[in-house]
Amino acid sequence: MSLLFSPLSEGILEGPFKPHPRSVFIMLHSGQEVSGLEESIDEVVCKCAVRMKHSIKKASRQSGTKDYLEKIIQLIRGCGFGVAIFSEFTPAATLANIFFEIGLCSVLGKPVVLVKSARAKPPSDFVRTEWITFEEGNRKRLAHDLEKAITSIHDLADYYENLGDLALEADEVDLELAFERYRQAVLIAGKSAARRKIKKILTKLVEETSYVLPASTSRLRRSIKEFDKLLPRI
């Protein structure tokens, strides 16, 4: 797998993070002067996610004294997917932050559901992107569209687990790729089968070090141990 580099230190983005299976990272304007329109969208999004058995993660709700960007990165790493919300009332500075966070989600392999008000104009690079559009007052339609989008993301968890299986069954076994795919399946949908397969990868690493380059063996073993240790117990 390609290495990821931290936008904070420019070093390799590695080390432990707190996994939050079946959680969604919400990206939206917060603090003072939040429009009623955005509050309505956020309320529907959160209720829909909780109804579908997902917990809600927002950077503004998480305590801590570390760098705020580091907090966001760690939250995104631990979540299954994200939902970005904006309207025509979202300040330009906040809109820039939201789309930066969307970029982080993409780099970290997290699906993102994009939700905007009917009058909001997306940035030019996103004009062909598929959106969920909220017509003010039609909360029922928004909830319906969100449920379909989240269900599609759940289907991705099955897909990622299958990709992990393929990586293990290949002529040249790729344990690192298998772990990454199983981890995505766990974070998106909390799949217990994928959790068990991650443990099997660790066993293979102990028994058979020829599956990966020696230089990366200890890093992969450490990543798997950290992820398994920090996972909430079922």
Identity of the amino acid at 121? K
Cβ within 8 Å of residue 109, ≥6 positions away: 180, 184
Compute the distance between CA of residue 49 and CA of residue 117 in angstroms, rounded to an integer: 19
**What's the CA dihedral at 49, 51, 52, 56 to 10 degrees?**
30
* Per-residue pLDDT tens listing for the chain (234 residues): 555 666 666 666 667 889 999 999 999 998 777 889 999 999 999 999 999 999 999 988 766 656 788 889 889 999 999 999 999 999 999 999 999 999 999 988 899 999 999 999 887 777 667 889 999 889 999 999 999 999 999 999 999 999 999 998 888 888 889 999 999 999 999 999 999 999 988 887 877 655 555 557 788 888 899 998 999 876
Could you give all domains of the chain from N- to C-terminal order, each with its CATH number?
23-153 (3.40.50.360), 155-230 (no CATH)
Ramachandran angles phi, psi of 134, nearest 5°: -100, 115
